[in-house]
Amino acid sequence: MEFSALQKARYAYKPKLPASLSQPLDRIALEAGAPTEAIADQDELRSIFKHSYGKPVVKFVSGRNERITRPLKAGVILSGGQAPGGHNVIAGLYDGLRKGNKDSVLYGFQGGPAGLIENRAVRIDDELMDRYRNTGGFDIIGSGRTKIETPEQFAASLETVKKLALDAVVIIGGDDSNTNAALLAEYFLDRGSQAQVIGCPKTIDGDLKNEYIEASFGFDTAVKTYSELIGNIERDANSAKKYWHFIKLMGRSASHIALECALQTQPSVCFISEEVEAKKMSLSQVVETICASVVKRAGKGLNFGVVLVPEGLIEFIPEMKGLIGELNNILASNAEEFGEIKSFIEQMYWLSFKLSKESDAFFKSLPPEIAKQLLMDRDPHGNVQVSRIETEKLLMGMCEQQLRELAKQGKYQGKFGAQCHFFGYEGRCAFPSNFDADYCYSLGFGAFVLIASGLSGYISNIKNLVAPADEWIAGGVPLTMMMNMEQRHGSKKPVIKKALVELDGKPFRAFASQRETWAAETSFVFPGAIQYYGPPEVCDQPTITLKLEHQP
């Protein structure tokens, strides 16, 4: 295999650890807090997690820990979409196990949770691990989106654990994957197994976040990668001075990516889905917001700009949210019947008898290309795959139409040319930033300490992330503490609650205080590429979002 010069250089990078994890292993002890409660639906969750509910938050402190050096066998799973730094979580876990005892073993389950179910394990050794340190991607063992949810899948997972004589399984994933980790931990305990389950917080969307999980790993690298690309587009727009660029960014359920990218690049317009929903903005109002900026800037001779659109925006527009909700329920309940209808015209006719009058009218008003995208195959959770809906093209087309009307009325004299982009996969497997390289390694090493200390049903956590790495605070949080009950596939199920953008939070307020200026004046900022070498204020800084959230 050929390696780039950067890849070779990154192999040599030594991730930084919190001071609590840098001391001799047998001096890393646990300090436990009081019993915890879930954020909501406590009684229901207590009944589901009979063996694992209510455990205390723990943090690593100096003390005695004689158990930490015993030989251990662990398995690790990469679950869900890729996020920069996943390899370093595995590296931190591997190094912790080997440092604790040279006879400890780490298996990687190939292809995500399905690898555990089907016992597709590969033993990770020094040679394999060293090829992936500080690199992007999940290709060391691959990932997958299988959910462990049927009795047969749970039983097969336990059988794999028994065959390999595993002491623990580490699941690296987002909110759904860590919910799965909690259910698996409970299942093992209920069946009398001593095998532990530990989670690690992964998602570039940034929506696995709370008081104890300050950031999900991969977010830092992804938003810096996207911001570089947006800055490049802004520089081009400011040079050519003839295009409006509509850029859709990943982030379905929450707009953390769009918000951070806006703070880093200062585009002409950026939508935050949570605000659109709170204000009950219609699709036409969203278009009017963009057109208002186009008209203002055209009046100054600025016939160019940049619009950031969160991937999930379309689901937060009230009439679209209502339509998508109805479609999800109808297609879930009538999947077989709908699958037999081949033509789009026949599908529309069939749906006209199922949809409410309002949703049917709105559905028929959409461009056929967008309407067809709303009917494509559902994701594993039964929801429309919004990443495949070309929201940026929908908004661009509607803006063109609106601006033609304004021109006829003499309210717009500019020239409108537009380009569309979707920045998604470009950010998921980038070389992790120094921040993510350090953070992920610390999460993996912390997962080892949680395993060695005998805990299960926990997620590895690191706090105080705006400080230098040696001042980070490491520990573990009970997964049940982050849960509530939500409607999924027609029934209520335990899930880790997603963190949405808080409209009264400091990051959003900082954005909102400046956007009127950005809409009228060219205020672009060009962050440039991620820097790996140089002063800490250039190379090791966290996101603007994290800095603002930690302001007093």
Q: Residue 471: CA atoms inside 13 Å, Cβ hemisphere, count? A: 5
Question: In Å, how far are 72, 130, 449 from 95, measured between CA atoms?
Answer: 12, 11, 11
* From 46-50, 65-69, 391-395, the region with the lowest mean pLDDT: 65-69
Does 448 score more than 90 pLDDT? yes
Confidence of residue 380 (pLDDT cuts 50, 70, 90): low
Task: Report d(CA 399, CA 284) in Å as an integer.
Answer: 9
Instruction: Give the pLDDT confidence score for residue 280 in this predicted structure.
Output: 96
* From 257-261, 287-291, 341-345, the region with the lowest mean pLDDT: 341-345
What mean pLDDT value characterizes the chain? Answer: 95
pLDDT in tens, 412-425: 999 999 999 999 99
Q: How would you class 331 by CB atoms within 10 Å of its CB: exposed for 0-12, middle for 13-18, buried for 19 or more?
A: buried
pLDDT (average), residues 473-480: 98
* Chain centroid to CA 34: 29
Does 490 score more than 80 pLDDT? no
pLDDT in tens, 123-166: 999 999 999 999 999 999 999 999 999 999 999 999 999 999 99
Does 398 score more than 70 pLDDT? yes
Q: Do domains 20-218+432-488 and 223-426+505-549 have the same CATH topology?
A: yes
Task: Report d(CA 447, CA 173) in Å as an integer.
Answer: 13
CA angle 203, 206, 208 (to 5 degrees): 75
Runs of H (alpha helix) within 140-282? 151-164, 175-190, 219-240, 256-265, 273-278
Q: Does domain 223-426+505-549 have CATH number 3.40.50.300?
A: no
pLDDT (average), residues 200-209: 97
pLDDT (average), residues 172-182: 97
Q: CATH second-level architecture of 20-218+432-488?
A: 3-Layer(aba) Sandwich (3.40)
72 touches 451 (CB < 8 A): yes
Task: Report d(CA 386, CA 373) in Å as an integer.
Answer: 8
Q: How would you class 523 by CB atoms within 10 Å of its CB: exposed for 0-12, middle for 13-18, buried for 19 or more?
A: middle
Closest by Cα among 313, 312, 310 to 260 = 310
Does 321 score more than 70 pLDDT? yes
Domain residue ranges of the chain, discontinuous segments joined by + = 20-218+432-488, 223-426+505-549
pLDDT (average), residues 12-21: 97
> Which residues 6+ apart lie within 8 Å of 268 measured at CB?
244, 293, 297, 305, 306, 307, 518, 519, 522
Q: Residue 177, SS3?
A: helix
Confidence of residue 369 (pLDDT cuts 50, 70, 90): confident
Angle between helices 391-408 and 283-299 (to 10 degrees): 60
Confidence of residue 386 (pLDDT cuts 50, 70, 90): confident
Does 381 score more than 70 pLDDT? no
Confidence of residue 72 (pLDDT cuts 50, 70, 90): very high
Terminus-to-terminus CA distance in the chain, angstroms?
Answer: 49
Task: Kindly report each contact of residues 22-25 with a partner whose C-beta sits within 8 Å and lies 24 or more positions away, as own/partner.
Answer: 22/470, 23/62, 25/65, 25/68, 25/69, 25/99, 25/100
Instruction: Give the pLDDT confidence score for residue 382 in this predicted structure.
Output: 66
pLDDT in tens, 222-271: 999 999 999 999 999 999 999 999 999 999 889 999 999 999 999 999 99
Sign of the torsion formed by the C-alpha atoms of 173, 176, 178 and 184:
negative
Does 534 score more than 70 pLDDT? yes
Q: Residue 98, SS3?
A: helix
Instruction: Give the pLDDT confidence score for residue 3 in this predicted structure.
Output: 83
More confident site: 368 or 517: 517
Q: Residue 411, SS3?
A: coil
> Which 3-state string (H, E, C) describes 349-400?
HHHHCCCCHHHHHHHHHCCHHHHHHCCCCCCCCCCCCHHHCCHHHHHHHHHH
Closest by Cα among 10, 11, 27 to 19 = 27
Instruction: Give the pLDDT confidence score for residue 385 in this predicted structure.
Output: 78
Instruction: Give the pLDDT confidence score for residue 383 in this predicted structure.
Output: 73
Catalytic annotation, residues: 205
